[in-house]
Amino acid sequence: MSLYRRLSRLAAHLQDPQKVAAFQRLCGVELFYMLFFPFCMWNVDAWLGRRLVHIWVWVMYVGQCTKDVIRWPRPASPPALKLEVFYNSEYSMPSTHAMSGTAIPLALLLLSYGRWQYPLMFGLILAFCWCSLVCCSRIYMGMHSILDVIAGFLYAILILVVFHPAVDLIDNFNMTYKYAPLIIISLHLALGIFSFTLDTWSTSRGDTAQILGCGAGVACGSHVNYILGINLDPTPDKLPLSLNSLTVTVFGKAILRLLIGVVILLLTKIVMKKATISLACKIFRIPHDDVRKARQRMEVELPYRYITYGMVGFSLMFFVPGLFQFIGLS
């Protein structure tokens, strides 16, 4: 019996909701990103957080587009036992969860080591455990074959090798170039339109649009911060940064910032979602009695996802840190 079948059958005997939920939190779901990137931006290092977002956006965009070009179906069920059905309408090759689960921890290690003081072995173990759990969970969930996961792992490394050397230039361009916001918004929107033409509707189209929107919002927010001279990065003389200053007070403020900030991001998402779907339906004269069906039209889903998550990304970088400074929580 193949390893793939053994893992899939093992899932039939391990349908513990807590285990499934734990896997899901590490599989690239939106909730994870809503917690990880804000925590990194507000509590760890905005310089590091911006670069992780740039890499995440590029890796996920290339991965999603590659899926729609190759068009390999998901593993058949049976023999696979699927514990997740939300992404079942997407294609399978490569696994974008495996791609993000490889690219983010490796990029975190590459970007933080030397900038922060910590043992290299700690970073290597964290990256290995993170990557292994995410990749294995996709097989456990019955959503990918071993080949999908291996391809996603190797594809992410290839993209990281090409993209990592340019990430500093991209971040510097986003912050300092006068017309950066116009170029960023136009480029990300054009990439979204291109991805929507690759195949018929699936959850990957909406995910691609919201990833591009989030990336554009973060880039534009960093530009505004730089122009206004607020939330600036530590100067070179303050490097490397240290974790030795962690105290109960610092930890408490970090958790408070995360709770307040994430609530604001969720409210921004809810308000913008409601406004943009209604507006898009009116502009393109699409009936919105059935919102779920209306969202499957490109004229609705692309602007709704792009604008909504663009504002979430902008709030992440600009509005929420500004609020923290105003209430003395920065």
> Of 263, 271, 261, whose CA–CA distance to 317 is shortest?
261
Catalytic residues: 97, 144
Answer whether 320's CB lies under 8 Å from 261's CB: yes
Distance CA 275, CA 289 (A): 15
Fill in the amino acid letter for 191: L
Tokens matching residue 167: 């990430």
What do you get for the CA distance between the two ends of the chain, in Å? 55
